[in-house]
Structures are given as C-alpha cells and as structure tokens.
Amino acid sequence: MAREAKLYKASQGSPLEGYFLLKAEGKNIPPAFSERAAQSRRSRHERVSEVLQGGDWGGITTLRDWEQAYLKECFYRGIRILLELERSGESDL
C-alpha cells in the first residue's frame, strides 16, 4: 500500500518548501524516494497510452492520476537536488 504523501501535502507540492520542512525536522529524503516516484509514474504509462490513443476523455481520471504521480516525482527530485547542492555544491540529477 502506498504511503500518504504528508510532506508533499504539507509543502503544497513546492520542493523548496519541502526542503525547508525537512531541514526544520532534521530529516532527509533518501535517493530511493525519487526512484520510487519515477517507477510509480511509469507503472501508469500503459493505461495513459490507451486513453490518449483511444481519445477516450472519459479516462481523464487516469490522466490526472498520471499527472499527480509526475508532480510528486518532480517534487522529490527537486528536494534531492537541493540537498545535494547543500552538501557538495553540485548535483548529478
């Protein structure tokens, strides 16, 4: 079962706000978070492709679900980049 995205909700999807919240709590986001978020988004690709190719706009919930997964992926990746920049002054992401 997927975990509730508490940090994402608390920061309203802003990587910068998420970074500040993590720093205030003394916590970290492991690299695996952004990897799992990307896998979660990719797992929806087949259904999204079917909706887009079929022109079935009744599948808008499928598209919105994919969009939400994409935004969360970007959110966690953004926080990781900020953490790497803080630690080493550069990022590979």
Comparing C-alpha atoms, which of 90, 92, 91, 75 is closest to residue 29?
75
pLDDT in tens, 43-86: 999 999 999 999 877 889 999 999 999 999 999 999 999 999 99
> What is the model's pTM?
0.82
Asked if residue 79 lies in contact with residue 93, where contact means CB atoms within 8 angstroms, the answer is no
CA atoms within 13 A on the CB side of 75: 23
Dihedral sign for Cα atoms in the order 66, 72, 74, 77? negative
Q: What is the largest CA-CA distance in the chain?
A: 47
Residue spans per domain, the chain: 29-85
For residues 1 and 86, which has the higher predicted lDDT (pLDDT)? 86
Mean pLDDT of the chain: 88
